[in-house]
A and B are shown apart, each in its own frame.
Chain A
Amino acid sequence: MSNQGRTRTIEEINQKIRSGDVQVLTAEEMKKLVESSGVEVAFKEVDVVTTGTFGAMCSSGAIINIGHSDPPIKIDQAWINGVEVCHPGAAVDLFIGATNMCKKQPYEYGGGHVIHDLVAGKEVEFRAMANGTDCYPRTSIKTTFTKDDINQFQLLNFRNCYQRYNCAVNSSDEIIYTYMNKLLPHLRNATFSGAGELNPLMNDPDYETIGIGTRIFLGGGPGYIIGEGTQHSPQNLDGTLMVKGDAKKMSPEFLRGASFTKYGTSLYVGLGIPIPILNEGLAKKTAIRDRDIFTNIVDYSVPRRDRPKFGKVSYEELKSGLITIKGKKVRVSSLSSIKMAKKVSQTLKSWIAEGLFTLTSPVERLPTTATFKPMRQTEEIPFVVSVMHPAVTCTEDEEIRAIAERIVTKSVNHIVVIDEVGKLLGIVTSWDITRAMAEGKTALSDIESHNVITAKPDEPLEIASKRMAQHNISALPVIDIEKKVLGIVTSEDVSRLLGR
């Protein structure tokens, strides 16, 4: 029994949805079916596969039209619950960006929370200022409203549904707070995002059925794909979507305002796409497993566009909670909710099964090739490597007197203590030496400090400079990943270049 050449159309599927005969499985169920019964059977039996993802999607927002006041106002600046909203168009059209933060509660409350509160039916406080014109004389206004009081409330997200995302770690000595959340030093934890095999784009990676006009599950209501998302990079399996939907029909369960400590606010978005199984090829594609989906382990402690990588890892390993990096076991957990991603795919399945949701054919396909270009920069910014110079060094068995002489002849303030292969052991300053001589000490080990704050060669100088200020020190040995000393950067180097 072969299905060769057999296909199914979206219209046929919609007929079945209307008559209640449609066979719909979640992506999770489909994978099991293909594994147990094979692609041919799965194609024969299944009409639609529902996918889902539920992650923090920063490029999300909402367009609102709040109606005209009397006398009318042409808004210049406006705030909802203290969060600045932008005014990109006519008098009372506003855009709530998920990452805009409330100045009074930065990092805790932002645009994502405003959207969540409105969707939940809460009343919000609105304040606006204007210049005043002949036709719009009013210069300020204060009021409150709920979603029922305003006109349009459309979720409009210009980058959602990343096909996959990095796994983040931190190799530095300090905790860092990033958009990949809290990363403990020395690779003590790892985070990842994305639903892996449940992700919509992973189940139709060639964009056969997903395109402009595709009706989707968005935030608990129906929505539409309106184009490729910003930074869409399909060949690298980093596809993204631009989507919109009526936020008045959405649910606060599937749109959550989020706070990332010391990073900012965002919006968690539940997004699911039905994949019509039009041919056997699609049945096969929707059988993709977490073990087949790989992503990079990226070191977020290096604040550069191209961060160092520690190799690749599969979503199967990521979901297991434990990965291995350079022979070390590292605990990993997700930022996006896999539980909620499943719930998205299950809810969409029930909508289709109950005849509440029919499928659409895309009116235009999304680009399957696109490059994501870096920014064109007209100014060079200095990095540590561009100002560091050779460090004056000593070894641990040297006498303080010898080191003192070196400080004088080389006229430096810092001596870096290294071992026989050039790895960093400690640091001594001219001040340590002076005091030691005054106190009659002779052994370096008495005065050397081992807790050395360092810099990496490819760090922006600005960051290294901040670190010196933060620790109230005037030099940082520059080391590589193996702790080999490459040089030293001092506060004089910084002020010479950055003029401070």
Chain B
Amino acid sequence: MKRILIRFNEKQVSEPIATEVLIEHKVPAAILSAHINSKGGEIIAEIPDESLDKIVEAFRKRGVLVTVPKLIDVDSEKCFSCGACVALCPVEAISIDNDYTVQFDKEKCVGSTCSICVDACPVRAIKSIKPNGGNHALNSKVKKI
């Protein structure tokens, strides 16, 4: 399974694009999270590997932005495997291996739409990444004084 982020703009949200694409290609996709309002929205979906290309293609044809996001960043220098984040994760993306080292499965994580673990890390080793390139928007606003 591959996780993709589908972003709709204001115009596209009123059309049932996601349903159309998935039905048309008969792909069993799991919707991990959906945040949509009249101004636009984001859906994070899991797509079987073999259908990935055609689905991405189909969305892009309709003018929808599709990316394969990295949703979480864990600073392995900082993390000391306390375990505080583990039981909080709703999709079991965090686990403890035999050696008591905490491991993140970045493919499973649903990212900034969840972020439950982020403020539970006592050494602030976890950052959730805004998939919509939030940093870029920030930079354009920041002016040097």
Contacts and interface: CB of A to CB of B under 8 A. Distances in A.
Chain A contact-residue range equals 20 to 34
A258 interface: yes
A268 B122 CA distance: 9
Contacts of B84: 181-182, 191, 333-335
Interface residues of B, number: 20
A487 to B, nearest CB: 35
A442 interface: no
B81 A340 contact: yes
A339 B100 contact: yes
Contacts of B102: 339
Interface in A174-217: 181-182, 184, 189-191
Nearest to B121: A259
Contact of A259 (B81, B86, B122): B122
B81 A339 contact: yes
A257 B101 CA distance: 20
A338 B96 CA distance: 10
A190 B84 CA distance: 10
Looking at A184, A256, A259, A339, which has the most chain B CB atoms within 10 Å of its CB? A339
Contacts of A190: 87
A331 B87 contact: yes
B122 to A, nearest CB: 4
Looking at A190, A256, A266, which has the most chain B CB atoms within 10 Å of its CB? A256
Contacts of B101: 339
Prevailing SS type, chain B contact patch: loop
Contact of A182 (B80, B81, B88): B88
B122 A258 contact: yes
Contact of A191 (B80, B87, B96, B99): B87
A261 B81 CA distance: 18
A474 interface: no
A409 to B, nearest CB: 46
A298 to B, nearest CB: 16
Given A337-B81, A338-B83, A321 B96 contact: yes
A259 B84 CA distance: 12
Contacts of A340: 80-82
B85 interface: yes
A336 B101 CA distance: 12
A334 B123 contact: no
- Ranked 10 nearest A-B pairs via Cβ: A333-B86, A258-B122, A333-B87, A331-B87, A339-B100, A334-B83, A339-B81, A261-B119, A182-B120, A333-B83
Interface of B: 80-88, 96, 99-102, 116, 119-120, 122-124
